[in-house]
Amino acid sequence: MAGVVILTGAGVSAESGLGTFRDVGGLWTRYDLTEVATPEGFARNPALVHDFYNARRANALDAAPNAAHLALARLLDARPDVTLVTQNIDDLHERGGARAVIHMHGQITRARCAACDHRWDAPRVMDRSDACPACARPATRPDIVWFGEMPYHMDRIADALAACDLFVAIGTSGEVYPAAGFVEEAAAFGAETLEINLEPSAPGRFDRVIQGPATEAVPAWVAEVLAT
């Protein structure tokens, strides 16, 4: 096996205590996504958007990486041909030891100036009126890709998908595009496809499915790969 692309979603961080998108009663269900995760929502009510992401940042910083994050970091160390792409905005892959993570939806630990595009490390609590360290304008936003915005690093991801022999989706529902289309993209270039998920996302979409909680299924799969 040479050339592996792994795509992770909220399910990989669920057992660290970070709610997935659709958790009943979770943070995401208590807010209207069009109000907190779109540029239009931010323009209408920046304070509400910052409140939402301040809460998510606090949750993420207080969470610890789990066995799935640690196993993926071990795999990256052992296999330089593995590319790890995440839709998650938390930093649990990095804190689990992953050497290089492509954050296609941005990072909760980073801030961005909506006026000049400068980026910097986010403080624990942010507000729109925080001055940008580069241009001093009060236009601070989280460095998160919102609905309607272009995900980051799409060229790098497309190259990796075209070159990989195996595509693995872990803990993602496959409902948010463009990430949801990566499996078809990789398969079109001849890659084998594997899904690791608590509940398989769609029958027949992947060549192989491993069903189970990420903290058990991912370390077991990584051990299998490292043994070959």
Q: Is residue 176 a contact point for ligand NAD (CB under 6 A)? A: yes
Rounded to whole angstroms, the Cα distance separating 118 from 80 reads 31
d(CA 142, CA 54): 9
Interaction of residue 54 with ligand NAD, rule CB under 6 A = no
Asked whether position 87 contacts ligand NAD by CB under 6 A, the answer is: yes
Q: In degrees rounded to 5, what are phi and psi of residue 66?
A: -110, -175
143 binds ligand NAD (CB under 6 A): no
105 among known catalytic residues: yes
Residue 1: both structure tokens together:
């096996």
The C-alpha atoms of residue 21 and residue 29 are separated, in whole angstroms, by: 8
Cα 228 to chain centroid, rounded: 28
The residue type at 196:
I
Q: Could you give the string, one character per residue 98-137, with x where binding to ligand NAD holds by CB under 6 A and - elsewhere?
A: -------x--------------------------------
Taking the complex as a whole, the smallest distance from the CB of residue 131 to ligand NAD amounts, in Å, to 27
Binding site for ligand NAD (CB under 6 A): 9-11, 13-15, 18, 20-22, 87-90, 105, 171-173, 175-176, 197-199, 201, 213-214
